[in-house]
Structures are given as C-alpha cells and as structure tokens.
Structure 1
Amino acid sequence: MRTASALAALMTLPALAADPAVAGNPFFTEWKTPFGVPPFASITEAHFLPAFREGMARQKAEVKAIAEAKVAPTFENTIVALERSGQFMDRVGSVFFNLTGAETNPKLQAVNRELMPLMAAHRDDIQLNHQLFQRVKTVWDGRAALKLAPDQSRLLERTYKGFVRAGAALTADQQTRMRAINAEQSKLGVEFGDRLLKATKAFQLLVEKPADLAGLPEGTRMAAAAAAKKAGKDGQWLFTLDGPSIWPFLEYAQNRELRKKLLTGYLERCNQGGDTDTNAIVAKVAALRVEKAQLLGYKTWADFVLEENMAKDPKGVYGLLDQIWKPALEVAKKERAELQAMMAKDLPGQKLEPWDWRYYAEKVKQAKYDFDEESVKPYFAIDAVRQGAFTLAGKLYGISFTEKKEVPVYQKDVRCFEVKEQDGRHLGLIFVDYHPRPGKRGGAWMSSYRQAWVQDGKQVDPVVVNVCNFTAPAGDRPALLTSDEVRTLFHEFGHGLHGLFYKGQYRGTAGTPRDFVELPSQVMENWSMEPEMLKLYAKHYKTGEVIPDALMAKMKKAATFGQGFATVEYMAASLLDMDWHTLTTTKPQDTAAFEKASLAKWGLIAEIPPRYRSPYFNHIMGGYAAGYYSYIWSAVLDSDAFQAFKEKGNLFDPATAAKFRAEVLSKGGTEDPALLYQRFRGRDPQVGPLLEKRGLK
C-alpha cells in the first residue's frame, strides 16, 4: 500500500498553525488514511471555504513567481511550472465538487454559492494576467526550436490556447467585461443546479389504492412501498422522478392518468414559475455565452466550443446528426404506428400520447418477441453485474479488483475496490456509489478524487468514482437492474478505466475532447449484452442459474426494437442544444418559444419529448454545452471500435485490447484523438456499424 507522492507536499504550513480556520482542518494535514484517500468523516462543511481561500492564495503566489521570474521563459519554468501550480486547491476541490454532486446538503450548497464567484475571479486573475501570458506566448512563439515530445507539445498548445480562449489577448475594457460575464455565469450555474435538485426531489406521486398499481412488477411495488414508509407514509406507495421509480411506472402502470401525472411532473420540472423555475436562467446563460464568444472573435458559442473538438465546427455536428436523424425519425414513426395499433385494442379512438409510449412499447415488445424486460431482471443483481464489469476488465486488460472495507467512504452505501495490474502492482482505487438518495443529483457520472499523472518521476495513483442512480434493494431482494441500467453500469465503468489507465506525465493533458471522451465508456456497453459476456455474469439471484439461451435469444431479437424512439429522443435534445448555442444574438430568448420552434424545425413528432427539455437540461449548463451531440459522435467510434474485436473472432482478444489500452485509454489527451483512433483501428471510423447495431439501416 502506498499514498501518492503528491500528498507529501501538502503538509501544514508553520505560519498557519495558529490560525483557528486551520486548526483541525483536515485539508492542512497529510492524510494518513489507507491509500491517502480523503478522511471523509473528519471533513465538515466549515472546512471548505478556509481551505479554498488558502488554495487560491498559494496558487496566486505560485503564479506570481512564474510571471515575475527574472530568467527567460522556458517550457519548464513557465508551462510546466504553471501546470504544477494549484495542487492544494485541486485537492480541496476534488472532495468538495464530488460531494456537491453525490452527497450535498443545504450547508454545502451555501458554501457553493459563496465559492463560485471567488473561483471565477481567481481563474480570471490567472488567465487574464498580462505578464504571465507574455511569458507563455514567448514559449509558444518559439516552439519550433524546442524539439518537444508529443505530450509536451500538446501541453504547450493547450496552455497557450487556454489563455487566448479565456481572453488574455483582449483589451483591458474587454477583459473587464469578460470578468463580469464569468462572475455572472458562475452564479447562474449554481442557482440552476440548486433549483433543479429542489424541483426533482420535491415531486412525489403518492398512490393510496392497490388497484392503481395494476400492471406494476413486484419489485417496483416493493421499492415504492419502502420509499413511502421512509417518507412517513406507511401503507402507501411513493413514486418519484428518480430513474428507478419513474421509468418502470411509465412502462407498466395500467393507470393512464397516473402515468400522465408522473411524466408531466418530469417534463415540467423548473417550468412552473416560483423558486424552482429556471427559464430565465437558461435564456440569460445562452445570451451571455453568445456575448462571450463574440468578444473572443467567434460567431457563436458552438463555434468557440467545437474548435477544440473532433467536429471542429457546427457544420460538422449538424452533418453527422442529419445522417442519423432522418433514418431514426422514420423508424420512430413506424414504431408509433405499431404502438397506436396496440393501443386501439385497449382504448379505441384514443390518440397515443407521450405517457403512453413506453407502456405500449412494452406491450408490443411482448407481443412481437415474447420478451418482457422483467424476465431478465432476476439475472441482473447489481453485485453480479458489477462483478461482470470487473471480469470483463480482467479478461481484456489482466487487471483485478479487491474490495477494501478499511478505506474511508463518504456515504455508507459506497464501496471501494483496489485495482491491481496482472503482475500485482497497485494501479489505483475505484469507488462505486449506485443508488438514489435525497442529496444526490440525477443521472450517472464518473469523477476522481485523485488524478493519475507523474510527479517528480513517480506515478500518482488515481482514485476514481462511479456515481449512478440505479434501482435500490427492496425487502429481502437485492437491487435487480434493468438492461438499460446494466449498460449504464458498464458505461460509467469504462470512464473509470479511462481514468485509471492514464499514463501521461501532466495533469493538463489528461482530458480529451468532449466528442471523444465517451468512446472509452460507450465501447464497454457493447460487451454487456453479448451472449459470451452474459454467461459470465448474468445469473439468477436466487438459484445461481446462468441466463438461459432461449431468453438471451429473445433479448437479442428485441434489441433493435425501440431504437427509433431511443435515438430520436436523444437526438432531439442534441439538436436543441446545438440550436441554443448557434444563436448569434445577445438578447435573451423566450425559453419556451425557442424550444418549441427548434423542435418543430426538426420535425420531432409530438409523441416523443426530447430527452431533456431546456429548463432541466443540466448537461448544457455545464461541460456539455454545444456538446451533447458527443454521445452519438462517440457512438460511431465505439461501434466501429467494437467491430475490431468481432473481426478477430474473439470478443476478448488480448492483442486488440492491449492496443486499445495503449493507443486510446492510456493516452488521455496527449495527442490528437483522430490520430489515436487511426493508430488503434488502422483507418478512420465508419458509421455503418452504428446504423446496423441500432437497426437504422
């Protein structure tokens, strides 16, 4: 066991020992925990602001020393020195921002509201520092003579462009406006997140009559009864907007009015006035982004963002989306006709509505394929699925996972596993946090408490985390996952492997473009439902029986059913995102009117709402602005990459896996992603495998 060498530099400063804000604050001491993970039980909300302020002060001093150095700027004393700055603040931030997503509370939210403007100003103080920028620019201008390695060239390019894209080359007046925009955006982003969480957790559908549960699977009923009891409504059934609650209800509940009520609650979040409404925030953020982009010389926010992505510009994104949107919409219309015909048997003369789609899709699936999603859930107990993902990683990359119960965790349901290489060397840790709770935002994501990189010639061992919102255990039953939840678990685990395998020497070259970052995650989904893989992990939670061949065959036949709906509802959100971020006016839009016009322009059918509507489209309030398309862009890559294994006739081909790890997973953003993919595949990606997989050809 070892802790990262990076922690050794983060000891208490003698000058701070008497400061009451420092005394007892875990961020000012070395963490003598297993593997150097955060001592969660010792950290309170009161510790964060003093630690952040100290982190900003330390980085400010580090940056001042770089900017005012009397020696000529070099790659090492300017670019690398800047890259190495801010480690104390990063340490604090890794804990804080992970907790605000997975385990927040009113005190943390209050800290976040106070912190964000401070952080925005701190970033501006660095990136708009003229003296510092001139040193960076000097190194950049002389790059041809430096003979840098590819990762060094990438770090230099990212550093220089980071300054330019932040406004370092603007006039003083323009920089003043840029600071104001950044400060306002940071406040609006926090407010959006707080309102969305409040609106999502506030909605409740309480069912009092057992008759209103007709059609619902036993596990869904048990989970709803447990939720009601926890909420002080014993004897009733509680349904919420969390995925494990809402989606089974919409798929199986016979009560049409309750389906309508639940889906309407989901679709109208943050859109009903009052203290959870976000329409004005969305419109203002979009307008500020236009202004910021145009200050920097770009026509739209999308032009600004996409310059750094594989797509390069809005035309590239729209070009790909158009190739898939048209066939997907045609398939969705055919699905609609099938669902309408099935509905006519129950409700003659009634029109199919959004709250009917999932319900009748299940009925059609059962009728056409004799397949019911509930029939496979007993084979998808969560621990077995997680172990399946671990087994896959072992077969592909030779790594192993061992649970470490002595490692501190931030919530009792979180589990920690040590990851080792085939030769027994420690690789890193992965936390898994799988179930909904009041302080956790919706969705699923991967993050890290410590990033992999090389410091002073020594590897810093990564600590990554997968956070999801899966079906929780009910009664004496373990958590039994849907096939979609299984794919999500494999997906986030793929992100985790990407973080664990990074071998770059710089933190600043770890990240990849937004439309490449989903490749390592989405490629893992391909294995999850393959028969060879299912036989390794899909075992009945009671009997241990391996999933039968007949059931796998039914599941495979039904796999492409509903892909019109799934692709269209996702792509509608992607197109909405792009339309918001190709605006050229700084005048705030009427959010509802803008959204309506966008979806009408693309011909979205009324029975399919977009996966995310503007008022709760959290992705585009953060890092996926003008980037939500990236899932489908990466889907082209992942389908083509998985085809490489199929072509070998061995889904676990070690040579192909080793090449994928070497050329993609371990490289992070050290080189151009198109080049990385070409080296792995031997050619550019092709869209055919994706269309075939989804039945859209």
Structure 2
Amino acid sequence: MNQELTRWTGPEGLPRFDRIADTDFAPAFEQELAAALAAVEAIAANPAPASFENTVAAMELVDEGLNRLLAVFYTLAAVDSNEARQALQRDFAPKLADYGSRTGMDPRLHARVSAIAAEADALPPEDARLTRLMLRDLTRAGAGLGEAARARLAEIRSRMAVLTTQFTQNVLADERDFVMPVADDQLAGLPDWLRAAMRAAAAERDMAGQVVTLNRSLIVPFLEHASERALRETAFRAFTARGSGAGAGGEATNNLPLVAEILSLRHERAALLGYADFAAWKLETQMAGSAERVEDLLTAVWRPARARAAEDEAKLTQMLHADGVNGALEAWDWRYYAARLKRETHDLDEAAVKPYLTLEAMLGAVFDVAHRLFRLDFAPLQAPLWAPDVRAWRVTRDGRLMAIFVGDFFARPGKRSGAWCSALQMQHKMGDGQRPIVVNVCNFTPPEAPGAPAFLSWDDARTLFHEFGHASHHILSEVTWPSISGTSVAQDFVELPSQLYEHWLEQPAVLDAHARHHATGEVLPASLRDRLLAAGKADAGFSTVEYLESALVDLDFHRGAPPADPLARQGEVLAGLGAPEAIPMRHATPHFAHVFAGDSYAAGYYSYMWSEVMDADAFAAFEEAGDIFDPNVARRLEETILSRGGTAPAEELWMAFRGRMPGVEPLLRGRGLA
C-alpha cells in the first residue's frame, strides 16, 4: 500500500499528489476498508458495558485512514476525472454502501449508544450532543428495525450508490464531449475577453479558432452576448440536454431511468423507516422541519418573483420584435436581451468591468475581508498538488495555524462542473488535534495564455466569495469531534456562512480597495461601480424564478408517491406554477446533480433560500452596528455560529447570534422584489 494515501507527508501535512498513482487506490482501499470494518466490529462486540469512551468516542476513530484515502481519491475524481478513476468510483460505491449499512444499521451499536444516550445529561455538552446525534443517525438508518427490513435497507443503499455514481458520470460525459466551434464570421456581439476565453478553450482541446463548451463560466456569457440566434439556440439546447439522452453522449448518458429508480428507492427507504415519504424523513432533521414550512417560504417568494419576471418578459419580447424576430421570446433569447436591457438601462457594459475583476484582485478582496472580520492572514504555500494552476495558502491568526486553504479555480476537461467547498481534513481536538485542509473548487475561464490575467464576471466573483464563506466555516471551527466540526450542520443552515460572505463583495469599500484595472492599477470608477451594483438586481425575476422552479420540483418529487415518469411530473409542477416558458429550471431533472448525484440536497434544494432569509438578516446586524466590519458583531458571529459546527441545533446557534428568527422581507428587499 502507498502510505502517502493515508499518512500525508507534503508541506503542512498536505498529500503528496505527485507520489500517488491511480493504481495505488484499489489495494489501499481494500486494506483500509477491512481495517475500518474490524474496528467497528471490535466496538460493537465489546463485552464491557457501553461507555462514551469505548463506544461513541471510539467510533470517531474507526475509519480515519479510510476517510483520508477517500478524501484524496474523490477530490481527484471530481477535479480531474479519467476512465481509471471513473471505474474505481463504480467499484468503490457499492462497497462503501455496504460498509455504511453494516455500520449504520448494526443493532449492537444501536443498543450501546442507546444506553449511553439515556444518561447523556451527565456528559459534557459536546459529548452529549455527539451521542444524541449518533443515536439519531443509527435510528434513521434502520439499526432499530428487524433483520428483514435492515437487509432490504442495505440493498437499497448499495443500489443507490451505483445509481448516483452513474448519474454523475453521465452528466460529466455530456459536459466533456460537447464542443461547438464558432467561426470567425459568427463572433458578432462577443466582447474581446469572451473571444479570448473561447480561443483558450479551443487551444486546451488542441483545436484551432474558438469554441463554446458547457462550462457555465463560458456558456452563460456566450448566451448573453452572441448576436446570432441560431448559435445561441444550439448552445442552449446542448446545455439543457445534459443527462437527458439528447446530449452529446446520446442514449448512453440518459439519466431519466436512473432518476425514476432513485426516487422509487428513496420512497421505499422512508416507508421502511416509518415515514410518509422521503421529504418527511429528510426534513425531520433540518431547520425547516417539514415540507409545509418549506413550501410556505418558496411560494411566498414565488409570487413576487413571477410577477417581476412577467414584467421583464414583456420588455424583452418588445426588444426581440424590434429586432425583426416574430414569435415568442425563447429560453435562448432571455439572457441575451436581459443583458442588452441591463446595458441600456444602467449604461453598463460587462466588458468595461472585467478588467477590474481579475482573479488576483478578487482573491485579495476575499482575503482582506477575512482579515478585517476574523484577523486571518494568508501566506502562499508551495506544495505538489493535482494540477499546476492549483494553489495553496497557510491561514494563520496571530501566528497560530488555523488551516490550509487550497484553491482550484479554473475549468479543465474532466472536471466536474459548478463550484464547491470540501475538506481534505476536518478540524478536531482529539489527541493532539488537527487543523482543517479546506478546498475551494470553481470553474472559471482560464487565462488565454500563461501569465496573462484571469478575468472574472460579476457572477464569478460572487461564486468566489460564496465558496470562501463555506471555507471560513471550516477554518474557524473549534470543536472536539470531527463528525460535528466545520460545515457538519443541518443542510438548510450550511449555506448561511457562504451566502452571508457574498454581501461583502457588494460593499463600495471593498470594491474601492480591490477592484483595480489589471494594467493601470486604476480603481474601479465610482460611477461604474454604482451602476454595477444597481444592475445586480436587474434580472432578479429570472434568477429567482429559475431557482424556485428547481426547488419546488425537487420538493414535489419527494412528497407522496414517487413519479413513474419524472420528466412528466416536472412538466406538471411547472405548469401548475404558471412558470414562464422562457425561464427553464436552473437545474432540470436529468442533470440535477444536487438532488440525484447523492442525497445531500434531495428534498433540500430549498436550503439556499432558507439560508438566504437568515443571511440577509445576519448582514443587517453589521449594518445596524454602523460598520460592516464591526469587530463585536464579527466576534459574535464566530463564537455563536462559525466556530461551533454542529455542536448545537441550528436554530439554537442562530438565536444565540441574532436573538430572534428572521422574516422573508429582508430577502425580498435584497433581491429587489419587495
């Protein structure tokens, strides 16, 4: 076994990715999985009376080696997929599902943890919380059920692992395989920075000229600027066809049969556990608590968002007709005319803003905000990572190491789309303790040439701030047990730190300090800055509607009996909402990875908006203090939320910070929908 997979020897304890080969993973996985299973068996079969130390605390250590190996493997599988890694994913998935079943449904563990939980009030608060959560998870996994039910749940878990892995790989295949060449005489309307990005995408694929790919940071600006309507339609249809069988991979990458089976198995699992449906099972442990509360929030926002979208649609249709195009505004028209309307209404051309929004400038802003709020300092760290353009920093406070932060910012073939935050290593205080190794992954368009600046769109800059908000949740974590540290909180609470951090991007003080022209160093002119900020809410109807469509479809899929034909059900939900034809779901069912690449956001895509209700009110706390960097409010935010992980229920953490629950009004004002 390659020891580098579990005993990392790189700078500051990072893995040495340059010493790891794909052929190392399988034998190491088998060895670490066997060790973890043996450790769990020793705890479950321990003849000594159950205690916190010999059961609950011991369970925190059983799969440390396996987790470290998998952290390396799944990071590489997401950021640089290849056939070998995809084959390993398919091999590992059912074995990990079996491990999860044997551990999570062991009646002996359930009995031991139940005995400890009965006297948990005598334990220190964090130990008591860990015990109760462990018992809850064992119960919700089925450890308290009879043998036949447990066996069926294990079968479901194993099959789900296969299905969700295949779903992810199908979407990735469609994203990887679609490339649309754009001829020199088809570039009308495209700004220079976008043409350069398209040339860079072509060169990366050893192609001449310029191309459009399904990388969101490339295709969205293309849809906003391309004058040739037929090209917009081709690109849009490819983007929305991912995973449908009509994408680049054809029927081989059709996810719809997988989706139907996933929904059916989720429903069966919930029923075996005694719940009415999957939504009831999932939401039981969330801050929202019930599907009814989720629906109330989403519909309260849907009404004003739909009304705003209808107003905008009328304006954009007039523009379409003025261009001599008859008929209705189509989905591939909306972004193009909305961008034009924004430019005309706010006298704003994104091409004029981009030179000020380089990756370096915006990273400087991200780090400066972290320093002013939490006294964090960032120093570059040279380390052998998985690609030459991946970077690392030591994060310190008053000289103390707080974390290692890794940034993988640019799109590349084989990289999963979207943006996310993960941790190679969680913070904890067991033994000598350890600080987190946090990874932010984005898919920004890379620079046209080595050494050239990388320009971000305003949405890219917002994504950078968003993902670092998640990272701050890890960096500032100060808890004992790894399973409740960092972002290990309720799903509808986890987006609060990330969405809250976005607010600082919109502050004139931050932009004035960091949005500087890449060539001249000139500060973003105040008039341009103000027009940029004013334009931020210009298409709020579109962005809110496309999100809510996805959230409401997700919720409907998991309430009541599962649909036999998910795509037909999707259509019924959207028709019932009166959803605009020109605004499709942000994530249509065949490529809705949040929901079907795993269970994390299943019946939980609403959580972004649930958290947004809180993030709007949380930022208001700084505004009420009269200083967006108020040290007392920042300290309270850290002490009550960011450092606490999952050591208390989400509502309790929120109340400790704010003292009251928020309403929806700040969210509507923030989106310009009030």
Q: Output the TM-score relative to the length of structure 2.
A: 0.97
- Helix, strand or coil at the partner of 1:469: strand
Note the residue ranges of structure 2 that are not aligned, 5 or more in a row: none
Partner residue, 2:23: 46
- Helix, strand or coil at the partner of 1:512: coil
Q: Say yes or no: does 1:589 pair with 2:589.
A: no
Shift of 1:134: 1.2
- Tell whether the 8 Å contact from 1:151 to 1:509 is kept in structure 2 after alignment: no
Shift of 1:269: 1.4
* Letter in structure 1 aligned against 2:5: F
Shift of 1:136: 1.2
Task: Write the deviation string for residues 213-252 of structure 1: whole angstroms up to 9, x where unpaired.
Answer: 1000101111212222333331x22101101210111000
Partner residue, 2:395: 419
Q: Say yes or no: does 1:133 pair with 2:119.
A: no
CA separation of 1:568 and 1:135: change in aligned 2, threshold 3 A: same
Q: How does 1:270-309 map to 2 (within 5 A)?
A: 270-271=243-244, 272=246, 273-309=250-286
Q: Say yes or no: does 1:317 pair with 2:294.
A: yes
Partner residue, 1:469: 443
Q: How does 1:450-465 map to 2 (within 5 A)?
A: 450-456=425-431, 458-465=432-439
Q: How does 1:488-527 map to 2 (within 5 A)?
A: 488-510=463-485, 511-527=488-504
Shift of 1:530: 1.1
Partner residue, 2:224: 251
* Letter in structure 2 aligned against 1:584: A
Determine the C-alpha separation between the residues in 2 that align with 1:185 and 1:173: 18
* Letter in structure 1 aligned against 2:23: A
- Helix, strand or coil at the partner of 1:376: helix
- Tell whether the 8 Å contact from 1:213 to 1:253 is kept in structure 2 after alignment: yes
Which residue, out of 280, 289, 310, partners 1:333?
A: 310
* Letter in structure 2 aligned against 1:634: S
Determine the C-alpha separation between the residues in 1 that align with 2:15 and 2:45: 34
Shift of 1:101: 1.0
Which residue, out of 328, 336, 343, partners 1:351?
A: 328
Shift of 1:607: 0.6
Determine the C-alpha separation between the residues in 2 that align with 1:325 and 1:153: 40
Q: Cα RMSD between the aligned structures?
A: 1.3
Partner residue, 1:26: 4
Partner residue, 1:598: 573
Which residue, out of 189, 194, 197, partners 2:164?
A: 189
Partner residue, 2:345: 368
Shift of 1:211: 2.3
* Letter in structure 2 aligned against 1:267: T
Shift of 1:397: 0.7
Note the residue ranges of structure 1 that are not aligned, 5 or more in a row: 1-21
* Letter in structure 2 aligned against 1:248: P
Which residue, out of 203, 208, 211, partners 2:185?
A: 211
Determine the C-alpha separation between the residues in 2 that align with 1:65 and 1:426: 35
Shift of 1:675: 1.1
Partner residue, 1:615: 590
Moved more, 487-496 or 348-357: 348-357
Partner residue, 1:233: 207
- Tell whether the 8 Å contact from 2:5 to 2:72 is kept in structure 1 after alignment: no
Shift of 1:157: 1.3
Partner residue, 2:619: 642
Shift of 1:70: 2.1
Determine the C-alpha separation between the residues in 2 that align with 1:410 and 1:649: 44
Identity %: 38
Partner residue, 1:268: 241
Determine the C-alpha separation between the residues in 2 that align with 1:113 and 1:230: 28
Moved over 4 A (4+): none
- Helix, strand or coil at the partner of 1:453: coil
- Helix, strand or coil at the partner of 1:455: coil
* Letter in structure 2 aligned against 1:240: T
Which residue, out of 169, 181, 189, partners 2:144?
A: 169
Task: Write the deviation string for residues 26-54 of structure 1: whole angstroms up to 9, x where unpaired.
Answer: 236x4332111111111111211222222
Partner residue, 1:401: 378
Moved more, 159-168 or 270-279: 270-279
* Letter in structure 2 aligned against 1:341: Q
Shift of 1:683: 1.6
Shift of 1:404: 0.9
Determine the C-alpha separation between the residues in 2 that align with 1:416 and 1:143: 41
Determine the C-alpha separation between the residues in 2 that align with 1:25 and 1:509: 27
- Tell whether the 8 Å contact from 1:384 to 1:538 is kept in structure 2 after alignment: yes
Partner residue, 1:7: none
- Tell whether the 8 Å contact from 1:78 to 1:135 is kept in structure 2 after alignment: yes
Shift of 1:591: 2.5
Shift of 1:99: 1.2
- Tell whether the 8 Å contact from 2:361 to 2:515 is kept in structure 1 after alignment: yes
Shift of 1:348: 4.9
Determine the C-alpha separation between the residues in 2 that align with 1:357 and 1:32: 51
- Tell whether the 8 Å contact from 1:113 to 1:187 is kept in structure 2 after alignment: yes
Partner residue, 1:554: 531
* Letter in structure 2 aligned against 1:419: V
CA separation of 1:348 and 1:411: change in aligned 2, threshold 3 A: closer
* Letter in structure 2 aligned against 1:217: P
- Helix, strand or coil at the partner of 1:605: coil
Determine the C-alpha separation between the residues in 2 that align with 1:93 and 1:81: 20
Shift of 1:487: 0.5
- Helix, strand or coil at the partner of 1:281: helix
Shift of 1:557: 2.2
Task: Write the deviation string for residues 489-535 of structure 1: whole angstroms up to 9, x where unpaired.
Answer: 00001111111111110012120000000001010100102101101
- Helix, strand or coil at the partner of 1:575: helix
Determine the C-alpha separation between the residues in 1 that align with 2:426 and 2:658: 27
Task: Write the deviation string for residues 380-425 of structure 1: whole angstroms up to 9, x where unpaired.
Answer: 01011011100000011111000012x221111100000000x211
* Letter in structure 2 aligned against 1:224: M
- Tell whether the 8 Å contact from 1:78 to 1:136 is kept in structure 2 after alignment: yes
- Helix, strand or coil at the partner of 1:254: coil
